């Protein structure tokens, strides 16, 4: 932002997230440290989704570090880990409320907290939970964890494809300086797709081929 001489407040698009944990009726075996999503519960009309994943030993160890109260139950949790599911419940971009602005010699990232964001997330999660219950995939209880505004890690759309100085061309070169390539989520506008990871990777591979010529 300093290089581009931008002093005004800039909006950061993102998808607010709520993490929910369920006890599954069926055992799912996985040897992966980072487990992929099993399936998505998605509502295009209301623009929210839940990415349901199996648990893993790595995830449980992270949870035990965050919630030390669970440490006495480590053996039990490890025994049950193949029955534990969790979902990342994400909202659409209309709930974005992150901003960045220069303040003297530093840049501050902050939120203009919408008080009903958590309430809305919980409302969507209930619908996802009811779907899982109707499919007889989980037992009738769950635990929610709200990591806070801006902890979703799905930031995008700040320097998209366009013609002004705060944009890139089709080769992801900054229009104001063609020697700078941007290959992260900032060049996309994920209004509908709430899981941009694969798109970002594919685009990065495309740009790498261009640079390798």
Task: Answer with the residue of higher pLDDT: 126 or 190.
Answer: 126
Instruction: Categorize the per-residue pLDDT at 206 as very low, low, confident or very high, splitting at 50, 70 and 90.
Output: very high
pLDDT in tens, 21-30: 999 999 887 7
What is the predicted pLDDT for the residue at 203? Answer: 93
CA angle 34-38-42, nearest 5°? 120
pLDDT exceeds 80 at position 91: yes
pLDDT exceeds 70 at position 192: no
pLDDT in tens, 112-169: 877 789 999 999 999 999 999 999 999 999 999 998 887 777 788 878 888 887 889 9
Q: What percent of the chain is predicted at pLDDT more than 70?
A: 94
| Lowest pLDDT segment from 14-18, 31-35, 163-167, 177-181 | 31-35
Separation CA 57–CA 61 (nearest Å): 6
What is the predicted pLDDT for the residue at 23? Answer: 94
What is the predicted pLDDT for the residue at 2? Answer: 65
Token pair for 134: 């109707």
What is the predicted pLDDT for the residue at 193? Answer: 67
pLDDT exceeds 70 at position 176: yes
Q: How many residues are listed for the chain in this entry?
A: 213
The answer to whether 157 and 190 are in contact (CB under 8 A) is: yes
Query: What does the mean pLDDT of the chain come to?
Result: 86
DSSP H or E stretch at residue 200: helix 197-211
What is the predicted pLDDT for the residue at 171? Answer: 94
Do the strands 84-91 and 17-24 form a parallel or antiparallel pair, or are they unpaired? antiparallel
The label of the residue with tokens 């800039």 reads 10
Average pLDDT over residues 163-187: 89
């Amino acid at each position: 932002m300093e290089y581009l001489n931008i002093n005004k407040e800039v909006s950061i698009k993102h998808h607010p997230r709520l993490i929910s944990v369920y006890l599954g009726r069926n055992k799912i075996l996985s040897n992966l440290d980072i487990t992929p999503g099993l399936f998505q519960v998605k509502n295009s009309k209301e623009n929210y989704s839940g990415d349901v994943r199996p648990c893993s030993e790595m995830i449980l160890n992270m949870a035990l570090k965050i919630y030390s109260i669970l440490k006495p139950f480590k053996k039990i949790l490890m025994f049950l880990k193949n029955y534990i599911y969790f979902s990342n419940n994400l909202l659409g971009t209309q709930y974005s409320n992150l901003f960045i602005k220069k303040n003297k010699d530093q840049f501050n990232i902050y939120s203009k907290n919408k008080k009903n964001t958590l309430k809305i997330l919980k409302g969507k999660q209930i619908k996802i939970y009811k779907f899982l219950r109707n499919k007889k995939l989980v037992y009738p209880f769950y635990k929610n964890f709200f990591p806070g505004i801006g902890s979703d890690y799905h930031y995008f759309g700040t320097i998209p494809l366009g013609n002004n100085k705060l944009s890139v061309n089709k080769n992801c070169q900054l229009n104001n300086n063609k020697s700078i390539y941007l290959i992260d989520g900032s060049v996309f506008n994920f209004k509908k797709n709430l899981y941009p990871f694969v798109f970002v990777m594919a685009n990065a591979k495309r740009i790498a081929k261009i640079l390798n010529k």
